[in-house]
Amino acid sequence: MFKGHKKNSSQQEPLTQARVLEVLKQVKGPQKQGNIVDLGLVKDLLITDNKVIFSIEVPQELAPQLEGMRAAAEKVVSVLPGAGQVLVALTAQAQKGQSPVKPPMPSKPKAAAPAAPRQSKDALAIPGVRHIIAVASGKGGVGKSTTSVNMALALSAQGLKVGILDADIYGPSLPKLMGVSGSPTVGENNIINPHEAHGIKLMSIGFLVDDSAAMIWRGPMITSALNQMLREVAWGELDVLIIDMPPGTGDVQLTMAQRVPLSGAIVVSTPQDLALIDARRAIAMFEKTGIKILGVVENMSHFVCPSCGERHDIFATGGAKEEADKQAVPFLGEVPLSMKLREYSDAGTPVLVANPKAPEAVSYNAIARQLQPMLAMSKDQLARPAPKIIFE
């Protein structure tokens, strides 16, 4: 798990990796043999703005038993002069020199009837949160984060309590788009208090690390960090929590789709064929994990010249709607390309706040209205069980 410890300090010496590694030698390794530094278990050590972030790589079969070791590592680092927030993750890997067990090759896979819905411990519902919706895209650069933010504001304007989790560890956009920065406070039991802006509760890795820091993290650590930002944050009572997913359809996206109790997913695409290919992959990923597609949004649908008022279909138009029809999923609407939308986003003031009557704001409000009937349903009504694959 990914935990945090925070303390106040003044006139502190700069931290170094050598000092952190030295104190971590006090922490015994798994089965109380050696220490976690000499055993090579400390990974991805990052020190930024008095924050210390690292992972401890442990054998997968021992991970559930080693929370005490993680807590001990957090404690010894947190008392170092100059240490502010200490974030430690356990990452489960196969032991060195031990090859993963390979399952026998299947002769022929066949799909069985859908199994009854089952949720692992990692997919338990989040108290107080009624619906969790993923906003995804098959590729980056299609305006997924801008759509997440403005759609959240549109739902909030229609009377819903809304939060946003920025799940893009490598390129968090939420702090910039919402004009919020700085570390969130940590309450009792290391529960993080989310930031809030324009009535929306916010959480992002961008609040925890310097915006110039390179997040050189592997998949297990990212998954662990996202799990904490999802489950160890004081979200309170929310009608909907929007997860701004990372672009693509890789391991992180698949893990989130499997472990987070999603009510559904929204796929954002631009109209051109290249983006639609990737949007198709995103739809397929959610369908294979049994997540309902709530709809497709066509972003950058067209451009209206502010001088002459003429419409220009820069990326073609209507492609996302055609794809939604082919995939038999709802089409939620189109959002035009606009210089003002870009300016508002760069300034940290979303268009729904800066100019609620702008064409882009009207589009986002229309999308939110289409979602309202779905959000009035229960999660069980929205969800459908994932197919079970049997190997013979």
273 and 355: one domain?
yes
226 and 269: one domain?
yes
Instruction: Sort residue 316 into left (φ over 0), alpha (ψ -120 to 50) or beta.
Output: left
83 and 140: one domain?
no
Q: What is the largest CA-CA distance in the chain?
A: 74
88 and 212: one domain?
no
Query: DSSP secondary structure string, 111-165?
Result: E-SPPPP---GGGPPPTTEEEEEEEE-SSSSSSHHHHHHHHHHHHHHTT--EEEE
Q: Which of 93, 109, 135 is the last residue of a domain?
A: 93
**Is residue 119 situated within a structural domain?**
no
| 244, 164 Cβ separation under 8 angstroms | yes
Residues of the chain scoring pLDDT < 70:
1-14, 60, 92-124, 139, 211-220, 249-251, 273-275, 302, 309, 314-317, 378-392
Look at residue 241 in the predicted model and tell me its pLDDT.
96
Look at residue 216 in the predicted model and tell me its pLDDT.
63
| Secondary structure element (H or E) that encloses residue 90, with its range | strand 86-93
275 and 203: one domain?
yes
Residue whose C-alpha is closest to residue 251's, from 280, 225, 294, 222: 222
Helices (H) and strands (E) in the chain, counts: 12, 15
Host domain of residue 43: 2-93
132 and 89: one domain?
no
Q: Which of 37, 69, 93 is the last residue of a domain?
A: 93
**Is residue 122 situated within a structural domain?**
no
The two three-digit tokens of residue 62, written as one number? 């021992």
65 and 135: one domain?
no
CA dist., res. 261 & res. 288, Å (int): 15
Look at residue 195 in the predicted model and tell me its pLDDT.
94
- Give the number of domains in the chain: 2
CA dist., res. 83 & res. 15, Å (int): 7
210 and 280: one domain?
yes
The two three-digit tokens of residue 70, written as one number? 């993680």
Look at residue 120 in the predicted model and tell me its pLDDT.
45
Look at residue 193 in the predicted model and tell me its pLDDT.
92
188 and 279: one domain?
yes
Look at residue 275 in the predicted model and tell me its pLDDT.
62
Instruction: Report the CATH number at residue 41.
Output: 3.30.300.130
Q: Cα angle at 202 between 253 and 14, to 5 degrees?
A: 90
- CA-only gyration radius of the chain, Å: 22
47 and 163: one domain?
no
The two three-digit tokens of residue 320, written as one number? 């996302």
Residue whose C-alpha is closest to residue 157's, from 189, 203, 198: 198
222 and 356: one domain?
yes
Residue whose C-alpha is closest to residue 311's, from 320, 302, 319: 302
Distance (Å) of CA 60 to CA 78, 96, 299: 26, 11, 41
**Is residue 67 situated within a structural domain?**
yes
Look at residue 116 in the predicted model and tell me its pLDDT.
33
Look at residue 212 in the predicted model and tell me its pLDDT.
64
Task: Tell me if the pTM is above 0.75.
Answer: no
Residue whose C-alpha is closest to residue 322's, from 264, 276, 382, 388: 276
Look at residue 381 in the predicted model and tell me its pLDDT.
63
Instruction: Report the CATH number at residue 228.
Output: 3.40.50.300
Mapping DSSP onto H, E and C, the string for the chain reads CEEEECCCCCCCCCCCHHHHHHHHCCCECHHHCCECCCCCCEEEEEEECCEEEEEEEEEHHHHHHCHHHHHHHHHHHHCCCCCCCEEEEEEEECCCCCCCCCCCCCCCEEECCCCCCCCCHHHCCCCCEEEEEEEECCCCCCCHHHHHHHHHHHHHHCCCCEEEEECCCCCCCHHHHHCCCCCCCECHHHCECCEEECCEEEEEHHHCCCCCCCCCCCHHHHHHHHHHHHHCECCCCEEEEEEECCCCCCHHHHHHHHHCCCCEEEEEECCCHHHHHHHHHHHHHHHHCCCCEEEEEEEEEEEECCCCCCEECECECCHHHHHHHHHCCCEEEEEEECHHHHHHHHCCCCHHHHCCCCHHHHHHHHHHHHHHHHHCCCHHHHCCCCCCEEEC
**Is residue 73 situated within a structural domain?**
yes
161 and 80: one domain?
no
**Is residue 170 situated within a structural domain?**
yes
